[in-house]
Amino acid sequence: MNVKLGNNNLEGTIKIPPSKSLSHRAIIAAALARGQSKISNIIYSEDILATIDALKALGINFRMEEDYIIVNGGNLHRKMDVINARESGSTLRFMIPIMMTIAGKMTFEGENNLVNRPLDVYISLFDRMNIRYEKGEKALPLTVYDTLKPGIYEVPGDVSSQFITGLLYALCLLDDNSKIVVTTPLESKGYIDLTLDVLNKFGICIKHDNYQVFYIDGNQEYKCCDYTVESDFSQAAFFLASACFGSKIRLKNLPLQSYQSDKAIISILQQMKANIKILNDDIIVEPSITYGTTIDLANCPDLGPIVIVLAALSKGVTNIINAKRLRIKESDRLHAMYLELTKLGAKIIELEDGMIIYGVDKFNGGICYTHNDHRICMALSIASQKADGDIILFDADCVKKSYPDFFKTLHDAQKDLIFLNKLEMARYVINDLDMQMIKLFEKRMQASFDVAMYKKENGLPVYDAKREESLINRNVLLLENQALKDYYLHFFKTLLTVSKEYQKNEM
């Protein structure tokens, strides 16, 4: 799916979708509880469907209704020995230890970038605890042969809290007590709070010593529970940014007492001097001039893409810090946002674990690539409000991963958007490539002139036929299609002729 977005603002009341993080946790807890649970306020995104399918491998039955799901949990047994987590990091990292509470071999698979997302935390634990496993060069597929045993689990806190959550869900089912010792400062503490809160609602008690040591009693039992999933602050963040850019919208039923880490978007906007008001559970943001500041993403990495858009359109300089984990998400989000926003005219310096962003008043229009990342796609969609021309998004259906109705929500809020067919998109791509070629051509002509001037100043022959022929032959070898080779030979020889004429005229 490809979409063209105009630069108009949104209008109306926006219903924010349910928290994906809490949906995963509640559905899994319900599956582990003997009896029937009802989980309300659910959307069936690709990631949530991946978790449901993984739990079916444990013999769990579901009745999926439009906005709620009935989970018939307990009586866990293996029905399959392969789980495909698709592209869901939460599904994978939560389910590995849970599946290991039941004897038998299990293979975990994934799709696209999930096969590269690190599982080193579990692999190190397996090595230390003599748990047999098999894997290749990439993280997936991973086959595990042994079950979890009670004990002391040392886990770093600065890689992903998902590993800790997975262990918390599983260790309480074992026949003796366990401890999780966090060996480095814990990032994304809010996600652990979400986990502990959901576990508590489903009857599991976990104690901890200031998040450094978690004490897990064995032989606990999950209790069935009716649970309503909160609205998602990470999705609300896109619309809060949209309101800063001029949209007249109201966001309803955001749980301001939530443990969600991404609630930090409120304090970030306040820090950037946005005009934001809170009335009960409604948040109202008026069009705002925002200002650069220092933004720490250590505990809220999912806010990264939209915060980068906000910073790129703020007065002054913004420093994004502690953002290295953005590189191991569905895409390398730091680099992806750098590539796409600089293409639109943003001024960004990319660092290893952050960015320095110099604010501009507006973006250019143009073609952007989503990098198959739902949050990149949604952030660029909101960026279109502050663009001089249309923004074309290539591969925009990646929003299905977390927010399948995202573009419907934009359309319902009066957003000017058109879905493009393959022919229309191909024409936009050709035009974009032509623009890139023009810029490259200008750079090549200048470089050719610089080379010629250097040769002239140093008494060297300006034209080197032998070298030009070797360049042609080298480049042709990179092409596999014979017809393309013939066209390229013609193109490159013409280019060299033009280059010579340019040098003569300039010199």
On whether both 386 and 457 belong to a single domain, the answer is no
Q: How confident is the model at residue 458 (pLDDT cuts 50, 70, 90)?
A: confident
376 & 468 share domain:
no
Q: Please state whether the peptide bond connecting residue 141 to the residue before it is cis, i.e. omega within 30 degrees of 0.
A: yes
| pTM (predicted TM-score) | 0.88
The Cα-based distances of 251 to 265, 272, 378, 438 in angstroms read 14, 20, 17, 44
Of 187, 207, 228, which marks where a domain is finished? 228
Q: In this predicted structure, what is the pLDDT of residue 279?
A: 79
Note whether 175 and 223 are same-domain residues: yes
pLDDT at residue 20 in the model: 97
Catalytic residue among 47, 232, 262, 302: 302
CATH number at residue 305: 3.65.10.10
242 and 367 belong to one structural domain: yes
Number of domains in the chain: 3
pLDDT number for residue 450: 86
Return d(Cα 452, Cα 464) in angstroms, integer. 10
User: In the annotation, is 158 catalytic?
Assistant: no
Q: Taking 80 as the threshold, does the pLDDT of residue 281 lie above it?
A: no
Domain termination residue (choose one: 419, 440, 466): 419
Query: Which residue in the block uniquely carries the two structure tokens 């750079």?
Result: 443
Output 180 or 503, whichever has higher pLDDT: 180
pLDDT confidence bin for 393, thresholds 50/70/90: very high
**2 pLDDT above the threshold of 80:** yes
**pLDDT tens-place string over residues 19-60:** 999 999 999 999 999 999 999 999 999 999 999 999 999 999
**pLDDT on residue 503:** 67
Give the least confident one: 320-324, 383-387, 449-453.
449-453
User: Between residues 435 and 247, which one has the greater pLDDT?
Assistant: 247
> What pLDDT does residue 506 have?
64
- Residue 116: is its pLDDT beyond 80? yes
- Three-state secondary structure call for residue 293: coil
- Which of 206, 228, 250 is where one domain is finished? 228
Say what the pLDDT of residue 36 is: 97
Asked if 32 and 69 sit in the same domain, the reply is yes
The answer on 209 and 60 residing in a single domain is: yes
CA distance 324 to 318: 16
Q: Who has greater pLDDT, 434 or 395?
A: 395
- The runs of H, that is alpha helices, within 384-464 are 406-412, 422-457
The mean per-residue pLDDT over the stretch 11-18 comes to 92
Is the domain of 246 the same as that of 212? Answer: no
Looking at the structure, tell me whether residues 355 and 281 fall in a common domain: yes
Cβ(93)–Cβ(119) under 8 Å?
Answer: yes
The verdict on 7 and 47 lying in the same domain is no
237 compared with 493, residue with greater pLDDT:
237
Q: How many percent of the chain have pLDDT more than 90?
A: 77
- 141 and 263 in a single domain? The answer is no
**For 52-107, what is each residue's pLDDT tens digit?**
999 999 999 999 999 999 999 998 898 999 999 999 999 999 999 999 999 999 99
User: What does each C-alpha distance from 194 to 20, 183, 317 come to in angstroms?
Assistant: 11, 21, 33
CATH code for position 495 = 1.20.59.10
Q: How confident is the model at residue 507 (pLDDT cuts 50, 70, 90)?
A: low
Average pLDDT, integer, range 439-461: 83
Residues 492 and 359 in one domain: no
225-234, 318-327, 375-384, 441-450: least confidently modelled range: 441-450
Domain that holds residue 470: 427-506
pLDDT value at 292 more than 90: yes
In a shared domain, residues 414 and 466: no
pLDDT by residue (tens digit) across 192-219? 999 999 999 999 999 999 999 999 999 9
Kindly state the average pLDDT of the residues 311-328.
Answer: 97
Task: Tell me the pLDDT band of 9, cut-offs 50, 70 and 90.
Answer: very high
